[in-house]
Amino acid sequence: MRSSSSHPSHVHSPRLTPAPLRARRWLVSVVAFGLGAVALVACGGEPQSAPEGERVPHTGEGSSEPVAGGSGALGSDDGDGQDAVPDEAADDGGAEVEAAGGAAEADAPAGEPLAWDSDIDCRIPPMAIARPAACAAGAEYPECKWGMPDTDAAGGLYTRWRNTIDEHTWGRPALVGVLLATSYAFRQRFPNQELLIGDLDAPGPRHVTHKTGVDVDLYLPNTLMVENLGARRYRPNYRTMSNVNIEHARHRVEALARILAVCTEGRLRIYYNDTVVRDRFHAWFDARGYVTPFGRPMQRHNPLHDFHFHVTIAEDTPLPPWLRPYTGEHPVREIDAPPAIEGVTVFAPQAPAGGSGQDATMAPGSGTTMAPAP
């Protein structure tokens, strides 16, 4: 019997990859991995691991996603040379903030008070307030005026505007009381925001009003629409701010308007030109049931009111209550006339070159002239 062969007629041996080819493939894998690691480190990240199926977030400098406390966080420089408005999460009672043009509180209907609104405590902090002797004799305005304490005497609640002289710090007692109470309430909410108080009574060519004890100019540095840098130089504040920082700035501006409204029981008018702030403030004002004798509580005016509030209170506005009794003595001081400057009549009416009888003022950014501020 013929025996069958024990080996198949065709034997397939395993294909062996040449050693040089295997080495090249290994080298390419190592180089690719190394380049990936270098790229990750260059972008500010670090190699991370995560459970299978989960995405490792890319954080740190160079990330397109916000990182808490990083270079894109609120309260830091936003990268374009404009200092950002400090984060005020602790100031607004947790109110949510949307981009510019949105509501201050995402879930609140128009006009609903901010979370801290019911906590506005409008009372005059105890301090010495100068007044003429006529006040003690029972006289009324204009014989009896109160003088705004200077910055040091007020404990830093506010700063006097750079162009305001001593003789322009007098007004009706109610106006001074409202300003002191407003400054105190505003500082409680925004301790890092400087409030500047300008002229009260200041008759002369610089103002059309400021003559009856009810007018004052207020400034919030780096927060209002435009910054008055002096020497007729102006800087738009919002042009270089992020939308989030614009919203925070507007929140502070509206907060100042609300506090003024509470302290005057709604009997005020504010000239300021930001229509976003105006519309929000009006919604809140109406929801509170306030009525002002001036038509509407916030109104647009000439471009000078891009960089400050011009506030007018009603003559019958009551004096706010005191935070606690003042136990010291109020200094008695008579009101001096504004000082004369040799060769220049600054505080008396004068006609400019055009003979209009008004002291012309440059409109911010326009290169044109305009009538004096109210």
Determine the pLDDT at residue 93: 30
Q: Quick one: CA torsion of 157, 159, 165, 171, rounded to 10 degrees? A: -40
Is 269's pLDDT higher than 90? yes
C-alpha pair distances (Å), 191 with each of 89, 130, 367? 13, 26, 36
Phi, psi (degrees; rounded to nearest 5) at 373: -70, 155
pLDDT per position as a tens digit, 141-187? 999 999 999 999 999 999 999 999 999 999 999 999 999 999 999 99
**Token pair of 371 as six digits:** 């009538």
| Weakest-pLDDT range from 15-29, 93-107, 245-259, 289-303 | 93-107
String of DSSP letters for 108-169: SPTTPPPTTGGG----BPP----B-HHHHTT--TTTS-EE---TTTTTTS-EE-TT--GGG-
Stronger pLDDT, 265 or 91, i.e. the higher one: 265
For 278-304, what is the mean pLDDT?
96
Determine the pLDDT at residue 114: 54
pLDDT bin (cut points 50, 70, 90) of residue 347 is: very low
Which residues, 6 or more positions from 256, have their beta carbon under 8 angstroms from its beta carbon? Answer: 182, 186, 195, 218, 220, 309
Within 10 angstroms of residue 369's Cβ, the number of other Cβ atoms is 14
Is 32's pLDDT higher than 80? no
Determine the pLDDT at residue 90: 30
Determine the pLDDT at residue 116: 54
Domains contained in the chain, CATH given: 117-323 (3.30.1380)
pLDDT bin (cut points 50, 70, 90) of residue 204 is: confident
Is 23's pLDDT higher than 80? no
Residue 256, SS3 per DSSP: helix
pTM metric for this prediction: 0.64
Is 275's pLDDT higher than 80? yes
pLDDT per position as a tens digit, 76-91? 222 222 223 332 223 3
Determine the pLDDT at residue 133: 96
pLDDT per position as a tens digit, 194-203? 999 999 999 8
pLDDT per position as a tens digit, 119-149? 788 999 999 999 999 999 999 999 999 999 9
Give the max Cα distance, the chain: 149
Determine the pLDDT at residue 288: 92
Stronger pLDDT, 372 or 260, i.e. the higher one: 260
Q: Nearest-5° angle of CA 259, CA 178, CA 191?
A: 50
Cis peptide preceding 142, ω within 30 of 0: yes
C-alpha pair distances (Å), 60 with each of 57, 69, 70? 10, 10, 7
Determine the pLDDT at residue 127: 96
Stronger pLDDT, 54 or 329, i.e. the higher one: 329
| Weakest-pLDDT range from 75-84, 130-139, 261-270, 291-300 | 75-84
Determine the pLDDT at residue 342: 53
User: How many whole angstroms separate alpha carbon 84 and alpha carbon 129?
Assistant: 36
Looking at mean pLDDT, say which of 1-10, 98-107, 233-242 comes out highest. Answer: 233-242
| Weakest-pLDDT range from 1-10, 44-53, 239-248, 256-265 | 44-53
String of DSSP letters for 274-285: -HHHHHHHHHHH
Determine the pLDDT at residue 374: 67
User: How many whole angstroms separate alpha carbon 203 and alpha carbon 188?
Assistant: 33
Q: Quick one: CA torsion of 234, 275, 255, 186, rounded to 10 degrees? A: 30
Which residues, 6 or more positions from 354, have their beta carbon under 8 angstroms from its beta carbon? Answer: 360
